[in-house]
Amino acid sequence: MQLYEYTAHELRSLLRSGEVSAAETAEALLDRIAGTDPQLNAYITVLGDAALEQAGEADSLLKAGDGGALCGVPVGIKDNICIRGVRTTCASRMLENFSPPYDANVIELLRAQGSVFLGKCNMDEFAMGSSTETSYFGPVRNPHDLSRVPGGSSGGSAAAVAAGSAVVAIGSDTGGSIRQPASLCGVVGMKPTYGMVSRYGLVAFASSLDQIGPLARSVRDCAMVLDAIVKGDSRDTTSIMDAQDGFEARLETDMKGKRVGLPREYFAQGVDEEVRDAVLEAAKTFESMGAVCEECSLPLAEYALVAYYLVSSAEASSNLARYDGVRYGYRAHGAKDHEEMFVRSRSEGFGREVKRRIMLGAYVLSAGYYDAYYKKAQQVRTLIMRDYAALFNKYDFLLTPASPTTAWKEGARIDDPLRMYAADMCTVPVNIAGLPALVLPCGRGEGGLPIGMQIIGPARSDALVLGAGYAYEQAAGGGALRPVEVGGGQG
Amino acid sequence: MERKQIEDLAKLAKLEFTPEELDRFAGDMGDILGFVDKLGELDTKGVPPAAHVSGAVNVLREDVPRPSVPREDVLMGAPERDESGFIIPRVI
């Protein structure tokens, strides 16, 4: 077995017993990146020497019996999360040469563990996209089939974890940007409850929806990463200050008597039959463990996607107003006054999808349209939150598909925004309501392409959601996934 | 969506587009607005708008001075600067 094939929890044992060193692990991962990234393009920046230096420090910590559970574990970081002094581009020309002067909260916490940062993972520009094709640095390819997209926007993080060019990765999820690529790449991904992980140092897209979370090759690994990065932080006023960690210790396998709801709207039109069948098969696995599965209804699910695009675009247009070419980021040259500098810097620095969302956001926030669009969307948001609350009176968690289809061919949707947006129909409602949701593989469709299922729980039930995923993983005989051999073959 | 509306919006958003881009945007925005008009089907009379999900209100901190990021670190990323500030083209 190659070093890059181990999961984080397996590596933890090997590193602690001294069987392998953090330095040789980091070297193995950097070699794997060198071998796979010409095809995948999962990384925008690879941290070669810096990673080896961190690995050396991790080895000292391990020798002294110090360091956290992730000490010496190589991690990929989505390129919208700030690492001090390391280029953080958001996959945009706007930030092509931007190096932040501070670490994000998650980076501080991973440093405290002794983790090793392999590099910055490719993504859709400013996290706006569902296929990682809008990156200024070129598209990411799906390790299961290089002619297909990895999903998005954390497509680089998902592809790297699937291919073994990262052991675990950190992503961000505004409408499904961790879970949908996890599904399309056949890995495990989690969006924690809104507020569980501090957003300090995450480049803002839509602040009321953005949440940071892990991608990994097992549920246990996701729990390990969450244990490291869940911590109240006063620098993010939406942070849950009394958030409890201990997720790995609380992974339970007893599903006896658990009530599982299957909202029929998630299995309706627009969801491929092979996806539907695979998730219903997973429901049977839960039943075989003693859970009680039942069809239920989330009647407003179809409106969630609409509300999402209004709210997220409105917030994005405000958040992205800061890119003006003055303090950091791209500046157009030769402008005759400041106004021309603003306009040209933004027009040359942002890509097409980002501009489309800024324009939509400016429109729905503008006088005369605010009530009809933005306010209406926020009201629908209230209704969706109420619908979920009612469901969670009856069910411990909900089981749904993670994506209506498996990975599609590169280029197939890029010129059709509405078809692209539909890719998020299974994941978006969760962000609208701020709930925790875990995505994990539950089968393969045509061409061997991964199918993912989604477990949704009430706010702050992150431990329960992970526990249900873990129980399924054990029962389905899964456990840790093997990395995919890039360029053909199945993992 | 009318071409003129798109041009006004672009001005608000401080963006500029070529004529071809404007045509394309007008089409895209028309499609997208057709899609979002679906919300009109729902009766939301009397429903309070949700600004966010956690229910927290006015999270404040004590107003005590604390160290900020050093000026040199902040200026490091500036496209144009001198020792103490950002330089931009003339304003007046």
Span A442-489, pLDDT tens digits: 999 999 999 999 999 999 999 999 999 999 999 998 667 889 989 654
* Minimal CA separation from B87 to chain A, in Å: 8
Six-digit token pair at A26? 């980091």
Strands (E), A363-473: 397-401, 437-444, 450-456
Say how far apart CA B92 and CA B89 lie, in whole Å: 9
Span B13-49, pLDDT tens digits: 999 999 998 888 888 888 888 888 889 899 999 999 9
By C-alpha distance, which of A393, A385, A377 is closest to A430? A385
Residue A74 lies in a domain: yes
The region of weakest confidence among A97-106, A236-245, A459-468 is A236-245
* Chain A nearest-CA residue for B28: A417
Instruction: Inspect the interface and report whether the beta carbons of A331 and B47 lie closer than 8 Å.
Output: no
Residue A328 lies in a domain: no
Residue A237 lies in a domain: yes
By C-alpha distance, which of A347, A375, A360, A353 is closest to A318? A360
* Minimal CA separation from B48 to chain A, in Å: 6
Helix (H) or strand (E) holding A121: strand A116-121
Six-digit token pair at B80? 């144009």
What integer pLDDT is reported at residue A416 of this predicted model? 87
Instruction: Inspect the interface and report whether the beta carbons of A309 and B36 lie closer than 8 Å.
Output: yes
Interface check for B57 against chain A (CB to CB < 8 A): the answer is no
Residue A149 has pLDDT above 80, yes or no: yes
* Residue B70 and residue B77 in contact, taking contact as beta carbons nearer than 8 Å: no
Strands (E), A264-323: 292-296
Whether A355 is catalytic is: no
Chain B contacts of A356, Cβ < 8 Å? 25, 28-29, 32
What integer pLDDT is reported at residue A491 of this predicted model? 39
Say how far apart CA A269 and CA A283 lie, in whole Å: 19
Span A434-454, pLDDT tens digits: 999 999 999 999 999 999 999
User: Among the options A154, A157, A172, A177, which is catalytic?
Assistant: A177
B residues 15-54 lying closer than 8 A (beta carbon) to A:
15-17, 25, 28-29, 31-33, 35-36, 38-40, 42, 44, 47-54
* Minimal CA separation from B31 to chain A, in Å: 8
Span A254-279, pLDDT tens digits: 999 999 999 999 998 889 999 999 99
Span A364-416, pLDDT tens digits: 998 888 888 999 999 999 999 999 999 999 999 999 999 999 999 999 998 88
What integer pLDDT is reported at residue A487 of this predicted model? 67
Please state the pTM of the whole predicted model: 0.97
Tell me which of A88, A128, A359 to substitute to probe the interface with B (most B C-beta atoms closer than 10 Å). Answer: A359
Chain B contacts of A354, Cβ < 8 Å? none
Six-digit token pair at A182? 């996890």
Q: Which residues contact A443 (CB under 8 A, 6 or more apart)?
A: A278, A281, A282, A450, A451
Six-digit token pair at A163? 């291919």
Partner residue opposite A359 with nearest CB, options B29, B54, B79 = B29
Q: Looking at residues A312-334, what average pLDDT do you find? A: 96
Say how far apart CA A204 and CA A321 lie, in whole Å: 11
* Residue A435 and residue A301 in contact, taking contact as beta carbons nearer than 8 Å: no
Phi and psi angles of residue B12, each rounded to the nearest 5 degrees, phi first? -60, -40
Span A5-28, pLDDT tens digits: 999 999 999 999 999 999 999 999
Whether A191 is catalytic is: no
* Minimal CA separation from B66 to chain A, in Å: 13
* Chain A nearest-CA residue for B42: A380
Residue A176 lies in a domain: yes
* Residue A302 and residue A383 in contact, taking contact as beta carbons nearer than 8 Å: no
Kind of pairing between the strands at A74-78 and A116-121:
parallel
DSSP per-residue codes, A204-221: PSSTTT-EEEEEESSHHH
Say how far apart CA A101 and CA A74 lie, in whole Å: 23
Q: A158 is in which domain, residue-wise?
A: 3-258+457-475
Say how far apart CA A143 and CA A36 lie, in whole Å: 9
Instruction: Inspect the interface and report whether the beta carbons of B28 and A347 lie closer than 8 Å.
Output: no
* Residue B13 and residue A317 in contact, taking contact as beta carbons nearer than 8 Å: yes
Instruction: Inspect the interface and report whether the beta carbons of B36 and A378 lie closer than 8 Å.
Output: no
Say how far apart CA A65 and CA A331 lie, in whole Å: 48
* DSSP assigned state of A145: B
Say how far apart CA A93 and CA A137 lie, in whole Å: 8
Residue A401 lies in a domain: no
Strands (E), A166-210: 168-173, 188-191
Residue A490 lies in a domain: no
For A487, the 3-state DSSP assignment is coil
Whether A218 is catalytic is: no
Q: Which residues contact B46 (CB under 8 A, 6 or more apart)?
A: none
User: Among the options A131, A153, A172, A313, which is catalytic?
Assistant: A153
Q: Is A460 left (phi over 0), alpha (psi -120 to 50) or beta?
A: left
By C-alpha distance, which of A404, A399, A393, A373 is closest to A303? A373
Amino acid at position A417, single letter:
P
The region of weakest confidence among A88-92, A224-228, A361-365, B20-24 is B20-24
Kindly report the CA angle at A21 between A15 and A22, in degrees rounded to 5? 85
Amino acid at position A387, single letter:
D
Residue A75 lies in a domain: yes
- The structural domain count of chain A equals 1
The 3-class secondary structure across A40-63, one letter per residue, is: HCCEEEECHHHHHHHHHHHHHHHH
Six-digit token pair at A65? 């019996």
Report the mean per-residue pLDDT for chain A.
95
Six-digit token pair at B18? 């070529």
Looking at the DSSP bridge assignments, the partners of residue A452 are A441
Q: Which CATH number goes with the domain that contains A227?
A: 3.90.1300.10
Six-digit token pair at A202? 């995450």
Q: Given pLDDT bands bounded at 50, 70 and 90, which one contains residue A150?
A: very high
Partner residue opposite B49 with nearest CB, options A102, A343, A378 = A378
Say how far apart CA B48 and CA A77 lie, in whole Å: 38
Percent of chain A with pLDDT over 90: 92
* Chain A nearest-CA residue for B45: A379
Say how far apart CA A106 and CA A419 lie, in whole Å: 33
Instruction: Inspect the interface and report whether the beta carbons of B49 and A381 lie closer than 8 Å.
Output: yes
* Cβ neighbours, 10 Å, residue A14: 15
Residue A44 lies in a domain: yes
By C-alpha distance, which of A87, A90, A108, A81 is closest to A99? A87
Q: How far apart are the first and last CA of chain A?
A: 13
